[in-house]
Every structure is written in structure tokens, then in C-alpha cells.
């Protein structure tokens, strides 16, 4: 009987390993041999496959509660056959050698293109291969799914942290601005989530979304008003904030931020502008990867759906329904919000990018609509207890599974 291969691709999230747990436990329940590519596609190319059948049930459950990518990930992608025939040949040999019948690829929109090509690869090389995509990205930019696992937990972390710090910021007699820079280079889902940091009845943080060209006069007017009203102002800015001509503000000022777009810089650039234009001190927080690793603020809904997607992907692949990504569809029932899983053709999601819809962005361009609040709120529900050991989170990792011979 063939083997099922699980593969993590792209940046980790706080619940990526929950999907891995779902995959492994479902495969075991079906009596299917299961392995994972070490460090994603890079490891698969090299034939470095981890034998998960040797791992204890307790280790698999523990892995599922850890941030990061338990088996390693990479940003390696598969090129079309015409551009990399040798690479396809090499992959086909690995898949044949290890008798892989199903590939479950857990990743974002770029990874779904790799999944689509892997399905083609199976057909081209006459392998009995079913490839199923499991969505994952904190950016929430995958098309066709209500949300992508990883996003709700990152949103919960950002909104919670900003809510806490708002009490700090407004404690000081002196006027002050606090700026939090979020990830999301091309889409504003993470920045928009910061709007929910506001306590009931309070002004929401000002949002600078990548979907809205930076309008400095409008922002300065809004900041002046907040300072006049309350003596402080909280702003959430996307690392991908752009000028009207489309250039990233961080990119424009690359020298000043050391030429590392991925380091962010939009927040510090903005702080400088506010200092220059309003003479107000601004504090800047740049949480970077903390926002996708914050296991201690995971959303229970996120963790549950990540697990279900992993489980269902096994059933879908074993049923011979390859070439699809499983998507979440929102169901409003008497018991509240729930999600239904349904397959979408990989071609419908691969390499596409879902921006924040226009009806989620308020007319002032600096806030979100009630429709966005109604969208996000159900995703933040519930907490996942985190075990502490000797005062700090217990994140001990099980031993790395052995490679398949």
C-alpha cells in the first residue's frame, strides 16, 4: 500500500502544526503509512522524508501544540515542467522510490501553485498521485476560503497586544503616539485586525492599509484630532504601506531602514514624519515573527479548523480527489458560527491574492466597516491553554523522527 506524504511550505504560523497533527492522526486512523518532507519541498527534492510511523501518539499531540513548522519548511517552489524538466524528473523518482500515493501540501497561495504542478507531475509521470492543498497563511490572502488558518491567531495576538499597550500609552500625561507595524506586505487583513483592539465605545486605532494609498494630510488631520481629544493616538501600519504611485514607503526609504524590506520600516518612517510634521513623539513596535509564533494567544477556532482541515485532507486524498485545496465556508447556525470544508480546484487559488474587500474599508480610508468586525469576531473566539514549566511556556520538542531509508 502506498504512503501519504505531508509537506509544510512557506512561513510558519501558530497553528500550522495543528494541521500536521490532524493529518497524521487521520492517516493512522485509516491505517495509512505517513511521512513528512524534512524542510518542505527542499527536503522532498533531496529524498529526505521523515518516518512519522515511528513517532508516539503523545509526540504527535505535543507537536500539534507547538508554534513553527515541526518538520521544517522552505520557500522553495516548483517551476513549470518546461523550465525545470530535470527537477520534475528528480521529484518523480523520489515519489516513486518512496511509493508516495498522496501529497498533502500545507501552505499559502504560492505553495498552492506548487501543489497544482505536483498534481500535473503525477499525471505526466504516470504516478498514482493525489495532491491536496491545506490552506495556511497569517496574511489571510488565499482565495476561496473564508479564512486561512494562522490568520485568526495572528489577529488575536495583534489586537490583544495593542489593546494592552493602549492602556499604557494613555497613562502618560505627555502627548504621545504609538505605532504598531504589522505584517501583510500586499494585503491589509492583519493591519485591519488591529481595529478590534479598541475597547467598547472607544476610538479604534487609525489604520494604514496597503490597499489604501498613503494620504499624509488626511492622516495628520486624524492624528491631530485624536491628540486633541485624548492626548494620545494609536496607529496600526502595514509593512506594505504604499504611496499613491505604488511604491512602498519602506522601500522608498530603503537606505534609512537598511535596505531590508523584510525588516519592516514603515512604522519608523511614519514616526519620523509625525515628529517632523506635528512635533509629537512616537513609539514604534515591530513585532515581526512574534505575530505568527504567539502560541500563548492562539484562537481556539483557528486551532480547531486547522486540525479539521488536516484530517479532512487525508480523507479527500484517499478518496482520489486530488488537485484541490480544502476551503472553509462559513455556516451561521443556531449554535453560532461554524465552518464547512469543501474542495476547490487548485487552479482557482494558486498564485492568486485576496486583498481586503472594499466593503471592509471605511470611507475615511483609516478604519474598517462593521462588516469587517462581523467577519473577524467569530474567528477570534476561544483560547487554548498553554502549559508553563518553571515559569515559562513548555515548548519542549519531541525527538526528530528518523529519515526513511
Write out the catalytic residue numbers.
139
Q: What cell was used for 39? A: 524542510
Mask for 236-275, x = binds a copy of itself (CB under 8 A): -------------------xxxxxx-xxx---xx-xx--x
CB of 318 to a copy of itself, least distance (A): 27
Count CB neighbours of 315 within 10 A. Answer: 16
Cα angle 113-261-274, degrees, rounded to a multiple of 5: 130
Nearest Cα neighbor of 79 from 30, 42, 31, 113 is 113
Is 184 among the residues that bind a copy of itself (CB under 8 A)?
no
Interacting span for a copy of itself (CB under 8 A) from 216-224, 244-252, 317-325, 386-394: 386-394
CA distance 301 to 221: 38
Q: Show contacts with a copy of itself in window 67-106 (CB under 8 A).
A: 67-70, 72-76
Interacting span for a copy of itself (CB under 8 A) from 93-101, 106-114, 322-330, 390-398: 390-398
- Given the complex with a copy of itself, which of 80 and 382 has the nearer CB atom? 382
Is 397 among the residues that bind a copy of itself (CB under 8 A)?
yes
Mask for 321-340, x = binds a copy of itself (CB under 8 A): --------------------
Q: Show contacts with a copy of itself in window 13-52 (CB under 8 A).
A: 39-40, 42-43
- Kindly state the number of chain residues that form the binding site for a copy of itself, as judged by CB under 8 A: 82
Nearest Cα neighbor of 380 from 295, 298, 294, 289 is 298
CA distances from 280 to 134, 215, 224, 236, 253 (A): 46, 19, 10, 17, 21
Q: How many Å separate Cα 272 from the centre of its chain?
A: 29
- Residue 138 assigned to a binding site: yes
* Cβ atoms 404, 50 nearer than 8 A: yes
- Residue 139 assigned to a binding site: yes
Interacting span for a copy of itself (CB under 8 A) from 103-111, 214-222, 282-290, 326-334: 282-290
Beta bridge partners of 177: 233, 282
Is 393 among the residues that bind a copy of itself (CB under 8 A)?
yes
CB of 177 to a copy of itself, least distance (A): 11
- Residue 391 assigned to a binding site: no
Instruction: Find the binder of a copy of itself among 51, 53, 84, 288 (CB under 8 A).
Output: 288
CB of 133 to a copy of itself, least distance (A): 19
- Residue 11 assigned to a binding site: yes
Angle 109-124/85-97 helices, nearest 10 degrees? 80
CB of 278 to a copy of itself, least distance (A): 14
Reported for 265-272, long-range contacts at CB under 8 A and 24+ positions apart, including other chains, are: 265/239, 266/181, 266/208, 266/237, 266/238, 266/239, 266/240, 266/241, 267/179, 267/180, 267/181, 267/237, 270/179, 270/208, 270/235, 270/237, 270/241, 271/177, 271/179
Q: Show contacts with a copy of itself in window 195-224 (CB under 8 A).
A: 196-197, 199-200
Instruction: Find the binder of a copy of itself among 186, 296, 330, 352 (CB under 8 A).
Output: 296
Instruction: Find the binder of a copy of itself among 174, 279, 363, 405 (CB under 8 A).
Output: 174
CA distance 67 to 49: 21
Amino acid at each position: 500500500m502506498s504512503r501519504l506524504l505531508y509537506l509544510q511550505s512557506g512561513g510558519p504560523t501558530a497553528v500550522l502544526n495543528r494541521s500536521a497533527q490532524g493529518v497524521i492522526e487521520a492517516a493512522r486512523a485509516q491505517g495509512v503509512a505517513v511521512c513528512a518532507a524534512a524542510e518542505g519541498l527542499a527536503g522532498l527534492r533531496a529524498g529526505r522524508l521523515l518516518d512519522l510511523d515511528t513517532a508516539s501518539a503523545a509526540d504527535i499531540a505535543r507537536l500539534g501544540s507547538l508554534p513553527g513548522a515541526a518538520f521544517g519548511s522552505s520557500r522553495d517552489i516548483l517551476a513549470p515542467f518546461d523550465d525545470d524538466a530535470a527537477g520534475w524528473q528528480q521529484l518523480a523518482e523520489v515519489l516513486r522510490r518512496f511509493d508516495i500515493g498522496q501529497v498533502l501540501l500545507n501552505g499559502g497561495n504560492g505553495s498552492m501553485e506548487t501543489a497544482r504542478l505536483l498534481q500535473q507531475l503525477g499525471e505526466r509521470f504516470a504516478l498514482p498521485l493525489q495532491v491536496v492543498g491545506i490552506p495556511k497563511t497569517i496574511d489571510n490572502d488565499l482565495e476561496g476560503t473564508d479564512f486561512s488558518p494562522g490568520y485568526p491567531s495572528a489577529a488575536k495576538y495583534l489586537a490583544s497586544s495593542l489593546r494592552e499597550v493602549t492602556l499604557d500609552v494613555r497613562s502618560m500625561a505627555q502627548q504621545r503616539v504609538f505605532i504598531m507595524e504589522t505584517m501583510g506586505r500586499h494585503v491589509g487583513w492583519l493591519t485591519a485586525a488591529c481595529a478590534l483592539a479598541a475597547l467598547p465605545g472607544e476610538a479604534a486605532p487609525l489604520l494604514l492599509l496597503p490597499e489604501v494609498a498613503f494620504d499624509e494630510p488626511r492622516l495628520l488631520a486624524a492624528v491631530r484630532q485624536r491628540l486633541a481629544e485624548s492626548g494620545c493616538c494609536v496607529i496600526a501600519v502595514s509593512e506594505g504601506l504604499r504611496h499613491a504611485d505604488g511604491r512602498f514607503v519602506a522601500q522608498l526609504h530603503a537606505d534609512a531602514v537598511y535596505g531590508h524590506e523584510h525588516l519592516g520600516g514603515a512604522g519608523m518612517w511614519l514616526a519620523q514624519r509625525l515628529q517632523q510634521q506635528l512635533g509629537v513623539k512616537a513609539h514604534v513596535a515591530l513585532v515581526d515573527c512574534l505575530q505568527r509564533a504567539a502560541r500563548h494567544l492562539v484562537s481556539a477556532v483557528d486551532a480547531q479548523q486547522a486540525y479539521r482541515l488536516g484530517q479532512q485532507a487525508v480523507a479527500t486524498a484517499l478518496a482520489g480527489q486530488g488537485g484541490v485545496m480544502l476551503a472553509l465556508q462559513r455556516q451561521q447556525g443556531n449554535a453560532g458560527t461554524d465552518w464547512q470544508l469543501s474542495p476547490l480546484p487548485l487552479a482557482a487559488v494558486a498564485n492568486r491574492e485576496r486583498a481586503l474587500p472594499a466593503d471592509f474599508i471605511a470611507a475615511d480610508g483609516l478604519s474598517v466597516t462593521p462588516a469587517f468586525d462581523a467577519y473577524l469576531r467569530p474567528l477570534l473566539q476561544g483560547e487554548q491553554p498553554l502549559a508553563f514549566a518553571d515559569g515559562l511556556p513548555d515548548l519542549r520538542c519531541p525527538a526528530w523522527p528518523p529519515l526513511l531509508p
